[in-house]
A and B are shown apart, each in its own frame.
Chain A
Amino acid sequence: DGGITQSPKYLFRKEGQNVTLSCEQNLNHDAMYWYRQDPGQGLRLIYYSQIVNDFQKGDIAEGYSVSREKKESFPLTVTSAQKNPTAFYLCASSIVAPSTDTQYFGPGTRLTVL
């Protein structure tokens, strides 16, 4: 079965700790994305990557970091510099082509800072 997996489903973190969220896809997609979802605010883009070893900041990149060492994997690290990290995090992927641009989403990780 092809798809996107995110782990863990729920994550708890103490203030001041860094935490890494996993995102893996077996769809052979070149592009991958991280979004943050807060109630009433929709989805906001954190980082995206269109090719291995390259990534760009989205609209709310401060306090986050990513890596793209493999095509299948795009982990997101929430650092202690992120002032309000409690949120639902969604990973997505797509092929990179102007005419075929559906983004496929993973099931999400809910991060709670204690």
Chain B
Amino acid sequence: AQSVTQLDSQVPVFEEAPVELRCNYSSSVSVYLFWYVQYPNQGLQLLLKYLSGSTLVKGINGFEAEFNKSQTSFHLRKPSVHISDTAEYFCAVRKGGATNKLIFGTGTLLAVQP
């Protein structure tokens, strides 16, 4: 069965510092990978996705992620964070095939401090 692990429940960081949010997945078949962001009391918004091709994926708001098949990871990075990046970030995986079901990680709260 597929699963997604987000090792850090909360990541505190100072404004303008770099950040990496970790995501590992388990799957024996090809997968599609996603990062979503959720601001307080709102729905989820897609940050970026990996379907195929280049392993470095760029998304909105200056975020990027790198797909590493050998390490089964899809870590999210930003070189310089802003206060407005404070939110919960979810990694998700979808198995290839006909179904569009997503499996979500438990989320990482990015807390940007001035």
Chain A positions within 8 Å of B, measured between CB atoms, are: 4, 6, 31, 35, 40-45, 48, 50, 58, 90, 92, 94, 96, 98-99, 101-108, 110
Interface residue total, chain B, C-beta cutoff 8 A: 25
Interface of B, secondary structure class, is: loop
A105 touches B43 (CB 8 A): yes
Which residue in B90, B98, B99 is a CB contact (below 8 Å) of A43? B90
- Can you spell out 19 A-B residue pairs with CB atoms less than 8 angstroms apart? A6-B43, A35-B104, A40-B106, A40-B107, A42-B90, A42-B104, A43-B102, A45-B101, A50-B99, A92-B44, A99-B51, A101-B32, A101-B100, A103-B100, A103-B102, A105-B44, A106-B43, A107-B43, A110-B41
**Partner-A contacts on B (CB < 8 A):** 9, 32, 34, 36, 41-46, 49, 51, 90, 94, 96-102, 104-107
